[in-house]
Amino acid sequence: MSNSKYLWWNGSQMPWEDATIHVTDIGWSTVGAIFEGIRAYWNEDDQEAYVFRLPEHMKRFEQSMKLVRLEQEYSTEMLTETILELIRANEHREDIYIRPLAYRAGGAGGGFSSFSSKAGILIDTSPRPTHLKTGKKQDACVSSWTRISDNVMPPRVKNISNYRNGQLATMEANINGYDVPLLLNDQRKIAEGPGACVMMVRDGKLITPGVTDSILESITRDAILQIARDDLGLVVEERPIDRTEMYIADEAFMCGTAAEITPVVSVDRYQLGDGNVGPITSQLEDIFLGVLRGTDSRHPDWRTPVGLKQLAKA
Ligand SMILES: *Cc1c(COP(=O)(O)O)cnc(C)c1O
């Protein structure tokens, strides 16, 4: 994969090749690092890209930094503007992924205990086409690994260290022939996948674990609950989900910035519905893609225009 032309690092936009660190800096610097995964979607008719829920992502970035005790040297407003500038500089006229990362700066050594609160910040962007409506579907299993809980490593924020938990579960699932693991929390209820939340449909209701069930507080999850309730008129429930409820669900899907909506068609080889993408999942995918691209005018406050249209005119 070829990289974008520019990235932003510690206060300046620079050529991708120029942003280098010494090899001894890797290791402990990422233990307390946090990041955001954000997407922007290209609208051909508008000749514009729209960033999905940018203020919400940047608010979570700020909260994540606070939680891992990193000092915020740059304001959230400044970082938000920086992201839009970077996308314009890279002239991304396509669907993209945007990743701001805050890590513990201050050089090599020191281990994890002599921590400094000084943050290094990196923002990079890369092409990432949507897989919504492409027919992608997954076979899931219930993992033998337990999802981290709030007094172990806070699951609600995107801390790099948290992903070791999801990585172990994914490796196990893949070796055993499944696409994606579902992790149970320490209450032995369904929490989420390794990098995405999970929802199921039972008797026409959309059901997903609550924000205190050891899940990441997903912005996509929140958007889909709103779409289901307001645009589709569905009953939505946020509540603990038993493992065996997943087995008899009519439909299920993963959701998140990376996962978007990814249909799950079996859990532990129990087929859900007829084994195809279910009707409610399919409807949600339709509306969600339209809202993301701005071809559907609903939820305009979720779309931040990048300013590529003006750039083309100038
Ligand atoms: C990023 C992430 C999600 C999805 O969150 P969004 O805000 O929708 O992108 C869910 N679970 C985990 C573990 C994640 O890292």
Cα of 313 vs centre of ligand 1, distance in Å, is 36
Contact 198, 190 (CB under 8 A): yes
Q: Which of 257, 291, 302 to mutate to test the pocket of ligand 1 (most atoms within 8 A of CB)?
A: 257
In the chain (314 residues long), the average pLDDT of successive 10-residue segments reads 90 96 82 95 98 98 94 96 98 97 76 77 97 96 98 94 97 98 98 98 98 97 98 98 98 98 98 97 98 98 96 81
DSSP summary character for residue 159? B
Contact 219, 258 (CB under 8 A): no
DSSP summary character for residue 301? G
**122, burial (CB in 10 Å: exposed 0-12, middle 13-18, buried 19+):** middle
59, two tokens = 């608010």
Nearest CA to ligand 1 atom 3: 196
Ligand 1 atom nearest 259 alpha carbon? 4
User: Positive or negative, the Cα torsion across 187, 191, 194, 195?
Assistant: negative
Instruction: List the CATH number of the domain containing 31.
Output: 3.30.470.10
In this structure, what are the phi and psi dihedrals at residue 86, rounded to the nearest 5 degrees?
-65, -40
* Same domain as 167, residue 195: yes
Ligand 1 atom nearest 37 alpha carbon? 9
* Same domain as 119, residue 70: yes
* Same domain as 248, residue 178: yes
Exposure string for 26-50, b = 16+ CB within 10 A, e = fewer: eebbbebbbbbbbbbbbbeeeebbb
Q: Which residues line ligand 1 (CB under 6 A)?
A: 37, 158, 192, 195-197, 216, 218-221, 256-257
Contact 53, 83 (CB under 8 A): no
pLDDT of residue 116: 76
pLDDT of residue 2: 75
pLDDT of residue 57: 98
Active-site option among 66, 133, 136, 158: 158
The answer to whether residue 10 is domain-embedded is: yes
Cα of 189 vs centre of ligand 1, distance in Å, is 18
Instruction: List the CATH number of the domain containing 195.
Output: 3.20.10.10
* Same domain as 169, residue 115: no
Q: Which of 197, 198, 199, 226 to mutate to test the pocket of ligand 1 (most atoms within 8 A of CB)?
A: 197
Q: Is 158 a catalytic residue?
A: yes
Report the alpha-carbon distance of residue 85 to residue 308 in Å, rounded. Answer: 10
User: Positive or negative, the Cα torsion across 97, 37, 131, 235?
Assistant: negative
Contact 5, 89 (CB under 8 A): yes
Ligand 1 atom nearest 56 alpha carbon? 7
Cα of 100 vs centre of ligand 1, distance in Å, is 14
The answer to whether residue 151 is domain-embedded is: yes
The answer to whether residue 314 is domain-embedded is: no
Nearest CA to ligand 1 atom 9: 257
Report the alpha-carbon distance of residue 38 to residue 99 in Å, rounded. Answer: 6
- Tokens 């500038």, located at residue: 85
- Contacts for 115 with CB less than 8 Å, ≥ 6 apart: 32, 69, 104
277, two tokens = 């993408």
Q: Which of 39, 218, 254 to mutate to test the pocket of ligand 1 (most atoms within 8 A of CB)?
A: 218
Cα of 311 vs centre of ligand 1, distance in Å, is 32
State the total domains in the chain.
2
Residue 202 belongs to what domain range? 138-293
